[in-house]
Amino acid sequence: MNTEKYKHIEDNQLLEKFYADKDNEWLGILLQRYTLLLLGVCMKYLKNEEEAKDCVQQVFLKAITELHKYKVDYFKSWLYMVAKNHCLMKLRGKGKQPTEINERLLATPDDVEDKKRHLEKDSTLNNMEIALQQLNPEQLQCVTLFYLEKKSYQEISQDTSFSLLQIKSHIQNGKRNLKIMLDRLNKNEH
Amino acid sequence: MNTDLKDILSNSNKDIDNQKLMDYLTNELSKSASHEVEENMADDDFLNDAVEGLQEIKSTKNMEAYVEQLNLDLQKQTAKNKKRKEKRRFKDQPYTYLTIAILLILIIICFVVIKKHLDAKRVTNPPVAENTRKPNLD
C-alpha cells in the first residue's frame, strides 16, 4: 500500500471515502498515520514494549470493527480515546490501578472553539496579562519561559529545578487555569 | 509581549509528522523545531502521551522496527478483509446468473408446453371447412 500518494488527503476525507465504499484499505491508510503515536500511548500505560505492540494491534482491530458500526467525526480524538480506554482496561484486568485520571479525555474540539472565541476578543490580551499574574509561581514561570521566551522543555529544566514531567504539567495546568480565569474575566465584563 | 501572549491560547493544530517526531525523540531537531513539537504537545494530549511513552522505548531502532511490523500487519489485515469482500462479491454473482438461467429455462419450458398443447388441440379438432366442401363434378 503506497501511503505517500495519499499524504495530501486529510483524515476526515479518508474517513468519508471509507464510509462511501466501506473499503478497509482507507482505514489502513488512515490508521498507519497514527501507528507511532499509538505505540507511544500504549507504551506509556503498559510500560512494556511487547505488550504495547500487541495493544496497538488490538486497537487497530477495535477501530476497524467500530468504524463499521458508527460514524466518527473527530477521528484523532476518537482514536486516542479508544487507545487510552483499551490500555486502562488492560491495566484494570491486571489489577493495576490506572496511573492517570480520566479527566483529560474530555478534551474535545470544543476546547479549540473556546480558545478561538477568546482570541477573537480584543480585551482578551489585557485580561490575559491580569490572569497570568494570578497563576501560581511555578505555572507562571513555566508558561512564561515556554510561550513568551520560547524555551524548550530541556532549557526550562536547566533554568529551573523542575523535571520534564513537572514542566509539562505546570504548562498544561497553567493553560487550563488561564482559560478558566479568562472565562471569568470575560463574564464580568458583560 | 502582547502578540506572544496570544500564543498561549492559540492551538497549534498542525499535526506533527512521524519523521519529525522521531527526530525530536533523537534530539536531531533545531531549537525552534523542538519548540514547535513541544508547543503541539502542550495542546495535544495524544501527542504528549505518545512522546512520554516513546521516550521509554530503549532504542530508536526498536521503535522503527515495531512501527514497520505493525504497519505490515495492518496492511495484511485490511487487504485480507478486502479479498474476503471481493470473494464474497464474486460468490454472490453466480446466484444472479443462476436465477436468470432458471428463469430463461422456465420460459422455454412454458413455450414448449403451450406449443405442444396447441398442436395436440389442432390434431384432435382438425379444421373442417376444406374437407366438407363437395367436389365439383361438372
What is d(CA A39, CA A91) in angstroms, rounded to the nearest whole number? Answer: 16
How sure is the predictor about A187, in pLDDT bands with cuts at 50, 70 and 90?
A: confident
CA pseudo-torsion sign B49, B54, B57, B58: negative
CA pseudo-torsion sign B68, B69, B70, B76: positive
Cell numbers representing residue A107 in the block: 478534551
Mean pLDDT of A138-144: 92
What is d(CA B59, CA A114) in angstroms, rounded to the nearest whole number? Answer: 39
The reply to whether B65 touches chain A by the CB within 8 Å rule is: no
Chain A residues closer than 8 Å to B21 by CB: 36-37
Cell numbers representing residue B33 in the block: 523545531
pTM given for the model: 0.69
The reply to whether A185 touches chain B by the CB within 8 Å rule is: no
- Cβ neighbours of residue A77 under 8 Å, at least 6 residues apart? A107, A108, A109, B46
Q: Nearest Cα to A45, choosing from A106, A86, A79?
A: A86
What is d(CA B43, CA B8) in angstroms, rounded to the nearest whole number? Answer: 10
What are B31-83's pLDDT values in tens digits?
Answer: 889 998 998 888 888 999 999 999 999 888 889 999 999 999 999 988 876 66
Residue of chain B with shortest Cα separation from A84: B46
Residue A103 has pLDDT above 50, yes or no: no
What is d(CA B103, CA B97) in angstroms, rounded to the nearest whole number? Answer: 10
The reply to whether B26 touches chain A by the CB within 8 Å rule is: no
Chain A residues closer than 8 Å to B15 by CB: 76
The reply to whether A39 touches chain B by the CB within 8 Å rule is: yes
What is d(CA A151, CA B31) in angstroms, rounded to the nearest whole number? Answer: 8
Is B14 strand, coil or helix? Answer: coil
Cell numbers representing residue A63 in the block: 477501530
The DSSP secondary structure of chain A, one letter per residue, reads ---GGGTTS-HHHHHHHHHHH--HHHHHHHHHTTHHHHHHHHHHHH--HHHHHHHHHHHHHHHHHHHHHS--S-HHHHHHHHHHHHHHHHHHHHTPPPSS-GGGGG--HHHHHHHHHHHH-THHHHHHHHHHHTS-HHHHHHHIIIIIS---HHHHHHHSS--HHHHHHHHHHHHHHHHHHHHHHHHHH-
CB-closest option in B4, B11, B82 to A112 = B11
pLDDT of the residue at A9: 86
What is d(CA A12, CA A10) in angstroms, rounded to the nearest whole number? Answer: 6
Report A:149-168 residues touching B (Cβ under 8 A): 150-154, 165, 168
The reply to whether B86 touches chain A by the CB within 8 Å rule is: no
pLDDT of the residue at A3: 65
Residue A125 has pLDDT above 80, yes or no: no
CB A36 to CB B82 under 8 A?
Answer: no
Chain A nearest C-alpha distance from B25 (Å): 11
ipTM beyond 0.95? no
- Cβ neighbours of residue A189 under 8 Å, at least 6 residues apart? A123
Residue A73 has pLDDT above 70, yes or no: yes
- Answer with the residue of higher pLDDT: A68 or A118: A68
Chain A nearest C-alpha distance from B8 (Å): 6
CB B67 to CB A23 under 8 A?
Answer: no
